[in-house]
Structure 1
Amino acid sequence: MLANDHVDLDVGAGEVHALMGENGAGKSTLMSILYGLCRPDSGTVALGGEPVGFDSPAQAIEAGVGMVQQEFALFPQLTVAENVVFGREPTRAGLLDRRAAVRVVDELIARHDLRVRPGDRVGDLPVGLRQQVEILKLLYRSADVLILDEPTAVLTPAETERLFGVLRALADEGRTVLFVSHKLHEILAVSDQVTVMRDGKVSAHGPAAEFTPHSLASAMTGREIDLDRVHPPGTPGEPVLELPELTVRAGEIVGIAGVAGNGQNVLVSRITGAAHVPEERGETGSAASASVADNLAVGFHRRGPLLRGGLLRPSEMRKHARAIIERFDVRATERQPMGTLSGGNQQKAILGRELTHDSPLLVVEQPTRGVDVGAIENIHARLVAYRDAGHGILLVSSELSEILALSDRILVMYEGRITAEFSRADADPDRIGLAMAGGVL
């Protein structure tokens, strides 16, 4: 199958254009062509009506096309201003003119109503503000076309709203914003036009106002998706995890709700040692340069059938990987480097590996971040089946809808403490949201 099969994409100046599709539908390939990361076998790319062909991102940026990728390319030890001007520094007498750098970056921040400061050290910034630094880099280079790949995947709801305000303002200036996302409600909230891809082809296109979440989901997957499903409750048994303020029982999903940065990661780091699906799939959940088979062997590599006579058996590792790939619908082969998979397929692979361990307790962080609606439905069903098989699950998610759909009990974390607990029957979104913001119930 072709990654992009005769794809037509027309994007106008002054619009936010959403591009969506399942993991592996061809979105990333299409954006990579536009940004100069790869070249098409056939077809043309035109910018302002003139044919162009980029051999590198540097050429694309020179022509006014910039991209904010999921993995930010920033220097954490440098300031905001130093990151923004890097490679195109204003100079004075052959040296970096720091005052000029701060001045021009400060002017960009004020013009676009951003929330960072030129002297802030990037390593000290939350992820939402780091994303603003990436946008500043493109604005400094006078990009007229801005591509954002899954820009809200790591943002809180408040940060997402601020980002949407920035994107609308950029479009109002006459810039073109290409917004790649899986989140149906966000796409409809911010976009002027929507293009949907499925299996390398365009399956739907039109004004955002003509779509609904359900019609978008159908165009993406080719089938009806139940977007509002709340799974039936489990049957809790004996505790599989006991902490002073936290207990998880066999046959139960306990959801941890909270705005990012309120201690969820610290809690997970204190618990894990059992099977674990981490929040950072690229940094801690997998090895990008190793093969899919190598990654899926982790945790199974000290026993048979993968190990015999103290040596790993490559054929058994590949067989083991193929079984997980097939069971969890991972769009990959066992010999591919893990880093070449789309973010959603990496997530499915890691989740499949951990579910296959069959541990009494599964700790899972952000299980559907960057995953399309069809895969979300599948992942949710897998987690519920794991619970119903008698396992306990501690679910940490920034998606309140996910917490509500899956959890038998919900705990809220605020400023490092568990501040509220809700049964499934009492799980009201407004009350949970109030607790997440530190309000008194």
Structure 2
Amino acid sequence: MSFIELKDITKIYPGTVACDKVSVSFERGEVHTLLGENGAGKSTLMNVLYGLAKPDGGSITVDGKVVEIDSPKTAIACGIGMVHQHFMLIPTLSVVENVILSLDEKQAFIDKKRVAAHIEEISQKYGLAVDPYAKVSTLTVGQQQRVEIIKALYKKCDLLVLDEPTAVLTPQETRELFVAIRNLIAENKAVIFISHKLNEVMEISKVITILHLGKVVGSVLASETNAKQLASMMVGKEVSFETPKGEQKLGDVMLEVVDMHAKNSTGVETVRGLNMKVRAGEIYGIAGVDGNGQSELIRGIVGLCKKTGTVRIAGEDVSNSSPRQILDRGVSHIPEDRQGMGVVMNMSIRNNLVLDTFYNDKFTNGVFLNWKKIDEQAEMLIEHYGVKTPNADNDIHSLSGGNQQKVVVARELDKQPQLLFAVHPTRGVDIGATKFIHEQIVAARDRGCAVVLVSTELDEIMGLSDRIGVIYEGVLLGEMDRADANYERLGLLMAGKKETAETVS
């Protein structure tokens, strides 16, 4: 008898069968991974399990007993906890206060010290180190994730759903998360792991279930498969992990940054006298652990935050230009936060695809918008970039995160930019879409575009870049040609170890 069994789960949204008679079971004491392309039905299935979506058919059993999970409260009562990709924490409150807010205790007074002591007990037991009295706003992303896991464990969950848990973690934080997961498994708890990172899936999983277009393709033991086979099962065809590049034809300097300084939202200087040059026809990869000034660097260059220093695009000083003036100079920007900066969530997919080009002659008739042209543009981009949606009029919030990212990438690359900023362009995107996005970025480079690629994924940096700069505490600690780079050298620079003549040789 399985711990939790989902049988023939069906969920239908207008124009889409998100889950089509999905059957899968989860056992105590093992990590069970759900794999699939964006829009395959993984998140919908978990929303059904956690009571966030009502199924149109099928049943759920817990320890052999049929249950109706109609809310997260019911799911928690059944021993199910979930850590969402976007954390549900209040930054201005402490860890212990966030945990208390998540409790369903009907009493006038809750002993904060007792709760804090229990948090410390959970932290020590599962390797989830966090200060109960620290404000959430002062925690790293990895520490905030630990708080979410502690919230679930505090409520005595026996099955923990982790939705894209490593998408925003550093390699070190990922290793620490895996230690905690293994501690959970040692306590006979079940973990559902959702990820697109096949190397991590192979490392942490016991069982892997693949979904495709809302149906189960199959389930395999991690010990009996490999990343290449999983990728083929996900997309229905053989997948190559390499992105071929054409012969490099370097052009003039397209981007020059001189002595740039910028601060983050809390007033801390995170870019400190940074200098860089990027030429047409090259991909300049910026590697580094999140939080070392990457965000402020790119935001400062494109005019989204205050900075000092000089920024030149194609030789023209744009240091004091507005974002729109900069974009109109042939610049495209794939931002790191697709929901906060890349799209307008309550707008249609069609409107999002022309969000920063609707005022061009191509889409206007005098002072009026040419909706026929806009519709044609949207349909073309949806088809070319494989955005999974029944139609372009749907609000973009109806799409999976990966399909939202495809909309952003489609809009920005269709402009045929001279300078492209691609910040975490494949974060939360499936293997098939990742390969396609990589091919489009390389195609831009091959036609003479200067590309600045920011990523914490060293595989992505190493696979796409012509030159690589490593950012640490707001400065470029080292620069090198791709041919001179290796994982150890980049890793040391990312950790702040400055190179000497001896270490380079």
Query: TM-score normalised to the size of structure 2?
Result: 0.84
Q: What corresponds to 1:427 in structure 2?
A: 485
**Superimposed CA distance per residue, residues 228-268 of structure 1 (whole angstroms, 9 cap, x where no aligned partner):** 44535521101111113211111111000111111111111
Q: CA deviation at 1:110?
A: 2.1
5+ residue gaps, structure 1: none
Amino acid at match of 2:481: S
Q: Deviations over 1:419-439 (max 9, x none)?
A: 111112212222111111112
Structure 2 residue aligned with 1:353: 411
Cα distance between partner residues in 2 of 1:299 and 1:101:
49
| Higher-strand-fraction structure | 2
Match of 1:284 among 327, 337, 341: 341
Q: Distance in 1 between matches of 2:129 and 2:84?
A: 20
Letter in 2 for 1:260: D
Say if 1:89 and 1:96, in contact at 8 Å, map to a contact too: no
Q: Check the 8 A contact 2:287/2:455 in 1, yes or no.
A: yes
- 1:367 and 1:101, CA in 2 relative to 1: closer, same or farther beyond 3 A? same
- The corresponding residue for 1:240 is 254
Distance 2:38 2:78 in 1: 29
C-alpha contact (below 8 Å) 1:18/1:193 kept by paired residues: yes
Partner amino acid, structure 1, of 2:94: T
| Aligned mate of 2:281, from 251, 264, 283 | 251
Q: Any conservation in 2 of the 1:85–1:140 contact (CA below 8 Å)?
A: no
Contact between 2:127 and 2:179, CA under 8 Å: does it hold in 1?
A: no
Alignment partner, residue 206 of structure 2: 192
8 Å contact from structure 1 (residues 290, 337) kept in 2 = yes
Which has the higher relative contact order, 1 or 2, with Cα contacts under 8 A spaced 6 or more apart? 1
Q: Alignment partner of 2:336: what SS?
A: coil
1:90-141, CA deviations, whole angstroms, 9 ceiling, x for partnerless residues? 687x234322222222222222221211101001111111111111110111
Q: Superposed, which structure 2 residues align to 1:32-111 within 5 Å?
A: 32-88=47-103, 94-111=108-125
Deviation by residue 1:159-216 (Cα, 9 ceiling, x = unmatched): 0011111111111111110001111000010111111111222112121111101011
Match of 1:405 among 448, 458, 463: 463
User: In 1, are the aligned partners of 2:127 and 2:183 still within 8 Å (CA)?
Assistant: no
1:81 and 1:105 in contact (8 A); partners too = yes
Confirm or deny: 8 A CA contact 2:477 2:498 kept in the other structure.
no
Q: Cα deviation per residue 1:57-88 (whole Å; 9 max; x = unaligned)? A: 22211221111111111111110011112142
Which SS does the other structure have where 2:425 is aligned? Answer: coil
Task: Give the partner amino acid of 2:422.
Answer: V
Deviation beyond 6 Å, 4+ runs, structure 1: 89-92
Match of 1:305 in 2: 362
Residue type of the alignment partner of 2:475? R
SS in 2 for 1:10: strand
SS in 2 for 1:194: strand
1:317 matched to 2:374: yes
Partner of 1:266: 296
* Counterpart amino acid of residue 127 in structure 1: V
Superposition CA RMSD, Å: 1.6
Whether 1:293 and 2:361 are equivalent positions in the alignment is no
TM-fit CA distance, 1:6? 2.2
Q: Distance in 2 between matches of 1:361 and 1:223?
A: 33
Counterpart-to-counterpart distance in 1, 2:414 and 2:171 = 33
| d(CA) in 2 for partners of 1:358, 1:82 | 49
Q: Among all aligned residue pairs of Structure 1 and Structure 2, give the percentage whose two residues are the same amino acid.
A: 43
Q: Which amino acid aligns with 2:117?
A: R
Distance 1:237 1:183 in 2: 35
> 2:161 and 2:240 mapped to 1: Cα distance?
30
SS at match of 2:167: coil
Q: Distance in 2 between matches of 1:162 and 1:232?
A: 39
3-state DSSP of counterpart to 1:133: helix
Q: Secondary structure at the match of 1:4?
A: strand
2:76 and 2:238 map into 1 onto residues whose CA distance is: 40
Structure 2: give runs of 5+ residues left out of the alignment. Answer: 1-15, 259-274, 303-322, 324-330, 500-505
Distance (whole Å) between structure 1 residues aligned to residue 33 and residue 85 of structure 2: 16
TM-score in terms of structure 1 length: 0.96
Counterpart amino acid of 2:68? Answer: G
Alpha carbons 2:284, 2:469 under 8 Å: kept: yes
Mapped to 2, the partners of 1:28 and 1:205 lie a distance apart of 17
Contact 1:233/1:408 (8 A) holds in 2:
no
Partner of 1:440, secondary structure, is coil
Equivalent residue, structure 2, for 1:5: 20
Counterpart contact for 2:243–2:439, Cα < 8 Å:
no
Contact 2:281 2:446 in 1 (8 A): yes
Partners of 1:155 and 1:39 lie apart in 2 by 31
